[in-house]
Structure 1
Amino acid sequence: MTSTETAAQPANSQATPAPSLQVYRVYIKVTPQKVWDAITSSEWTTKYGYGGLVDYSSGQGEYKIRPDEGMVEGAKQMGFPLPDVVVDGEILEYDPPRKLALTWRMAMDPDCAAEGFTKLTYEIDAIGDGSRLTLTHELENAPKHAAMVVGADAAEAVGQGGGGWPWVLSDLKSLLETGETFSPRG
């Protein structure tokens, strides 16, 4: 049912740094357009993963992901401040519903923000009556980003603390196929 591939190793050891190239693949039983909409529309992005209000509608220039109500409430419960912009970058390639490439920076974490921008690419292919979503995150010279997005132990991920891309993609797949997320938000 779920097929997720990754070049990344689990982040359960501080001795082994997270890889600078992380590739994740998941197969979802919906059309490429539905996957595209779920990635690029705040109507969807607020329902899975860490949430957030996205706007890629222009298909060019800078973009910012702002925290949604669930993210703000979660940050309050965990006792940490949340800035007005949690992720930012620039749209590099916008080809609906096949490819979205971006520079990407976790602006909400000061250490990650100081590392600068990484490159994130979503590629969506039609496979039978579903889709294959490949997420490639290039994290050269960004070890803090790499450690954050590779994900942490499953126990932490369930509470939304450190699940990284594996957790976000599992949540996305569950939502699109069942109407419910893998783990509840907020």
Structure 2
Amino acid sequence: MFIKASPERIWQAITTPEATERYFHRARITNTRDGHIARGPDGSNWGDGAVTVFDPPRRLVHEWRSLYDPDLAEEKTSRVTWEIEPQDGGYCKLTLTHDQLDDSPKTAESVFGDGWMFVLSGLKTLLETGEPLS
């Protein structure tokens, strides 16, 4: 996906709860060297995991556990990789890879299709217009 935003703005949008709650199903997500934490609007734990690569503003790799749904919470941890590559003209190429899903079929079903597409469309809309996708 190409986004008209600097690597720093994209990085801030994927690592801070003030930004993620505006495009990521109202989840307040924090990504730091210490870990990945996702909280629901009510403060409940929606997910957590280790951060294995923290390279601002270029690359973030973290574990993924969907704790907001009991069926998904039973599955094994998967992995999410965010890669930000500056392009000409003030754009960046953002690549998201969600893998290690062989033992997590319900999680795979929930994140593919409209799952990540909605999140990434919301991120792009927010960064390019200043308004959330709704």
User: TM-score normalised to the size of structure 1?
Assistant: 0.67
More strand by proportion, 1 or 2? 2
Residue 7 of structure 2 is aligned to residue 32 of structure 1 = yes
Aligned positions of 1:35-184 closer than 5 A = 35-57=10-32, 59-60=33-34, 62-68=35-41, 72=42, 84-128=44-88, 129-138=90-99, 139-151=101-113, 163-183=114-134
> Does the 8 A contact of 2:83 with 2:96 survive in 1?
yes
Q: Quick one: which amino acid aligns to residue 63 of structure 1?
A: H
**Which structure exhibits the higher relative contact order, with contacts defined as CA atoms closer than 8 Å and separated by 6 or more residues?**
1
Cα distance in 1, alignment partners of residues 70 and 77 from structure 2: 13
Aligned length: 132
TM-superposition CA deviations, 1:2-34 (whole Å, max 9, x none): xxxxxxxxxxxxxxxxxxxxxxxx100010110
- Deviation of 1:54 after TM superposition, in Å, equals 2.1
The gaps in structure 2 that reach 5 residues or longer are none
Aligned residue for 1:47, secondary structure, equals: coil
CA root-mean-square deviation: 1.4
- Deviation of 1:51 after TM superposition, in Å, equals 2.2
- Amino-acid identity (%): 40
- Deviation of 1:164 after TM superposition, in Å, equals 0.4
